[in-house]
Structure 1
């Protein structure tokens, strides 16, 4: 099930923003916050559809998200990820 208002359910809602907008090896630590997040997919779709350039979103770094955007430049990531999430259930 897709969660429209996902931010209040995010695992990072208690984290300091500076913990999620880091560089280098610190990004791996930030990605761990996302590991068990119940709305990770929705967060990632938001970042991809809005081409958010900074921070870790949905467990992915800027570089990882840019690679996905290059592979499917015109995709609606919400649709792609919503379908994948539905298929996995």
Structure 2
């Protein structure tokens, strides 16, 4: 799968009310369900991590879950990390999918 630069038009949440994604507690699980089948979930998550977005559910992760990742790898380019992981899981040699 190729990385989608302009991912927002393809997001599963594009027609959702913002209040559905910026919730607390158990309501976050409902918001995460919206992300479950999203075709651009990875791009959304990379955006939130690389820009250290503090609020809301992005890419199926809560702010607490994202903070934990950021603490483990504070200087990572999350786009690179997630893009490489996606390529490896699809069996595409690293760097090849971007060139296709």
Provide the C-alpha distance between the structure 1 equivalents of 2:55 and 2:13, rounded to a whole number of angstroms: 15
- Following TM superposition, the consecutive aligned residue runs of length 4 or more in structure 1 with deviations greater than 2 angstroms are none
1:76 match: 77
Say which SS state the counterpart of residue 25 (structure 2) adopts. Answer: coil
TM-score by length of 1: 0.99
Structure 2 unmatched runs, 5+: 91-100
1:12 match: 13
Displacement after TM superposition at 1:41 (Å): 0.2
Q: Which has the larger radius of gyration?
A: 2
Q: Does 1:48 align with 2:49?
A: yes
Total equivalences in the alignment: 89
1:62 match: 63
2:23 match: 22
Provide the C-alpha distance between the structure 2 equivalents of 1:86 and 1:27, rounded to a whole number of angstroms: 29
Say which SS state the counterpart of residue 57 (structure 2) adopts. Answer: coil
Displacement after TM superposition at 1:88 (Å): 1.2
Say which SS state the counterpart of residue 12 (structure 1) adopts. Answer: coil
Say which SS state the counterpart of residue 81 (structure 1) adopts. Answer: helix
Structure 1 unmatched runs, 5+: none
Please provide the CA RMSD for this pair: 0.4
Q: Going by fraction, where is helix more abundant, 1 or 2? A: 1
1:36 match: 37
